[in-house]
Structure 1
Amino acid sequence: MTQHTDVVVVGGGQSGLAAGYHLRRQGLDFVILDADPAPGGSWQHMWNSLHLFSPAEYSSLPGRLMPAQARETYPDAGHVVDYLTDYEKRYDLPVQHGARVDAVRRDGGRLLVETDTGTWRAHAVISATGTWSRPFLPAVPGREVFTGRQLHTVNYHSPADFTGQHVIVVGGGNSGAQIAADLALDGNVHVTWVTQRPPRLLPDDIDGRALFDVATARRRALEAGRTDTGGVASLGDIVAVSPVRAARDAGLLEAKPMFSRLTADGARWDDGSQSGADVIIWCTGFRPALSHLAPLDLRRARGHIPTDGTRALDEARLHLLGYGDWTGPASATLIGVGRPARDAAREIAQLS
């Protein structure tokens, strides 16, 4: 049996909830389909020590300030899960958990959304599946011959899982720096951190508040036709959160250049040096989780779907939300997703 609604939102994390908030304000009928069995989006799968870059008041979805966490300036992932769970309930958002969307297809003047729990027919679809379910692993020579464990950021939980082992952490972004710091500060794990280029830590006084201001200034400059300021990328790659600063100041966060290949028992560099390893943790990023949109045949360069704001250029009934700057400046952040979610809801309300 096919159910009918104005809008189907695919994904019930922070982007899907922000979309639901604004769709409700537009008076539209909608459903949010989320593959996870519980609220919280990808935050419920993060590593144990992860904290936000920003204070709670700078990490809020539209309509509801995130409450401060006791004794924590920067809330941890569990606090974010609690906030998203409360947000979903507070606004009585129609989230169906445990509903995985397999495909979105054209069906005359509507879009057909096929799930493992049934089918929906809608005027429009907002895809808000994020990237966490699609980790990226680079094609490094020797990766297939390494006999130790190979994990990705998504598989990391705590240093206790690696006691007494040598771990090579690969990646010069926030995840790589934070996981390397987490392991190094534990004292029971031998850590080697490798990066493609020398890591660039932002100044210690820069946190999510300042980053949002920088991203906003860039958006306004571009909208006004002024010179691109470069945004956050012009400042650095890594936010110096407390554990990263602690590891850096203790001399525990020195990065080596990227190795040239993996061997059966470790890694080898271009200069001939080698290092044994029990585990490789690839902190090498993610790709947009868009396989459910494959029947629409919209992907172009780099796997992205061309958009005008959040609207897919080749399918006006589809909006993409929260995948990065290409679907709205800072749209992959808690505080940044509100504006593009509002714009998407308004455009959908105007569809004939």
Structure 2
Amino acid sequence: MTRTVPRHVPVAVIGGGQAGLSMSWHLKQAGIDHVVFEKHRAGHAWRDQRWDSFCLVTPNWQCLLPGHPYAGDDPHGFMLKDEIVAYVEDYVRSFSPPLREGLGVDRLSRLGGRFLLETAEGAITADAVVLAVGGYHTPFVPRIAERLPEGVVQIHSAAYRNPDQLPEGAVMVVGSGQSGCQIAEDLHLAGRKVHLVVGSAPRCPRVYRGRDAVDWLADLGQYDLPVSEHPLKEKVRRKANHYLTGRDGGRDIDLRRFAAEGMRLHGRLDDVAGGRIRFRDDLAQNLDAADAVYNGICALIDRHVEDNAIAAPPPSRYEPVWRPDGFQESLDPVAEGIAAIVWCTGFRPNWSWVDLPIFDGNGYPTHERGVTAMPGVFTLGLPWLWTWGSGRFVGVGRDAEYLRARIAEHLSAAELRATG
């Protein structure tokens, strides 16, 4: 939606995804004047940076944006891409936030006692700012890609849409996080010859002992566990998400089964030299580690079932259906008929437009539950901002509610200083 933006706003919310919209809902409920700035359209990432068969990996019942819980007839299903976009668009219509689409913030800095937002429509000041732009900004492709043969088409997962988009021939998918595994499956189901470069991402069961694992983990409080109480503390923010899928009603992703069906699995990418792609000898280790996490989650659920005398089907343990037979150190992509590579190597944050002293040595915003060290600057929607649910539909609203109270305190203190 298009709206005129005043030259000064009490609160500027930068980003119109689920985080920024959740923040707007809580601010509007509290009667706090604000504007949400969105460079593209609300829900841009879901609409424009996902492949055609994309769906949520968490059940629909976890879609709990503030004031807008899932209201469909399939709470244990998994929204498809277009349904996710519709959910976000319905959310916007449900409370008419002060949303300015098509207007991004090019630079954010401090100007006296206020914050200065530089936009294509001029400068705007604010008393408080919420950075609700998430942590996945710039598609990352390693420089090693520059040494691949020129005839091999290369795209990032953010640009992948479907198998027909790629030239005929085999496809190498680099990365085995959620995107990598799901794109590899998409290509595999389409009958393409797939080479998958496997990293250290863990895996999770889809259904165990008669229920979706997400349901069990929610009962166990895993989505509510704050970073401060997690065994890894701050390091958990750098952990890869577990891979599984909601496709076709939801199922495990078992890379060993894919291999038994003809997918070629490789260890991590090590180098490209002399026209050959070289791999590390860690495939077996990576598969075993992912299975150990899978079985560990099952064991956690087993203890919960036993401790609470819950009637459930008997326990089980995953046993490998395929194991690597030797180590292929390298391959020639041209000789193997590899026509394309899909880089599922994630994103890098880009906070270069924020000219404020709120970052640590790695360029990550320093904060405590979204409250940065600089009064009046808040961040929302980051993975593990506060809990595992922080970067998801299920937990972002709770974080926004907490920040609403902190923002109100900041505005009240600023008003007292101005009148004192």
- The TM-score, its normalising length taken from structure 1, stands at 0.86
Of residues 107, 112, 116, the one that matches 1:108 is: 112
2:357 alignment counterpart: 297
1:306 equivalenced with 2:366 (yes/no): yes
2:309 alignment counterpart: none
Q: Which has the larger radius of gyration?
A: 2
Q: 1:122 to 1:176 in 2, by over 3 A?
A: same
CA distance in 1, matches of 2:381, 2:399: 8
CA distance in 1, matches of 2:222, 2:111: 38
2:243 alignment counterpart: 238
Instruction: Give the aligned residue type for 2:88.
Output: L
Deviation at residue 259 of structure 1 after TM alignment:
2.9
CA distance in 1, matches of 2:102, 2:198: 37
Deviations 1:116-160 (A, max 9, x none): 1232211100011124431222343x6344312221111110111
Contact kept, 8 Å, 1:9 with 1:125, in 2: the verdict is yes
2:222 alignment counterpart: 215
Percent same amino acid among aligned pairs?
27
User: Equivalent residue of 2:181, what SS?
Assistant: helix
CA distance in 2, matches of 1:131, 1:60: 21
1:39 equivalenced with 2:42 (yes/no): yes
User: Equivalent residue of 1:112, what SS?
Assistant: strand
Q: 1:166 to 1:264 in 2, by over 3 A?
A: farther
Deviation at residue 246 of structure 1 after TM alignment:
7.2
Deviations 1:66-103 (A, max 9, x none): 23277991111211111111111211101111001101
1:29 equivalenced with 2:38 (yes/no): no
1:146 equivalenced with 2:149 (yes/no): yes
2:170 alignment counterpart: 166
Deviation at residue 65 of structure 1 after TM alignment:
1.2
User: Equivalent residue of 2:347, what SS?
Assistant: coil
**Structure 1: gaps of 5 or more residues:** none
1:282 alignment counterpart: 343
CA distance in 1, matches of 2:238, 2:221: 10
1:190 alignment counterpart: 193
Q: 1:265 to 1:76 in 2, by over 3 A?
A: farther
User: Which stretch has the larger CA shift, 50-59 or 175-184?
Assistant: 50-59
- The TM-score, its normalising length taken from structure 2, stands at 0.73
1:73 equivalenced with 2:77 (yes/no): yes
CA distance in 1, matches of 2:217, 2:178: 14
Q: 1:95 to 1:289 in 2, by over 3 A?
A: farther
Deviation at residue 273 of structure 1 after TM alignment:
2.9
Q: 1:210 to 1:150 in 2, by over 3 A?
A: farther
User: Which stretch has the larger CA shift, 154-163 or 324-333?
Assistant: 324-333
CA distance in 2, matches of 1:52, 1:146: 35
2:278 alignment counterpart: 268
Deviation at residue 195 of structure 1 after TM alignment:
1.6
Deviations 1:140-191 (A, max 9, x none): 3x6344312221111110111125222111112111100000001101x221
Q: 1:59 to 1:265 in 2, by over 3 A?
A: farther
Q: 1:334 to 1:319 in 2, by over 3 A?
A: same
Q: 1:144 to 1:312 in 2, by over 3 A?
A: farther
User: Which stretch has the larger CA shift, 154-163 or 65-74?
Assistant: 65-74
Deviation at residue 25 of structure 1 after TM alignment:
1.8
Of residues 259, 264, 268, the one that matches 1:258 is: 268
CA distance in 2, matches of 1:217, 1:90: 27
**Structure 2: gaps of 5 or more residues:** 281-327, 414-420
1:178 alignment counterpart: 182
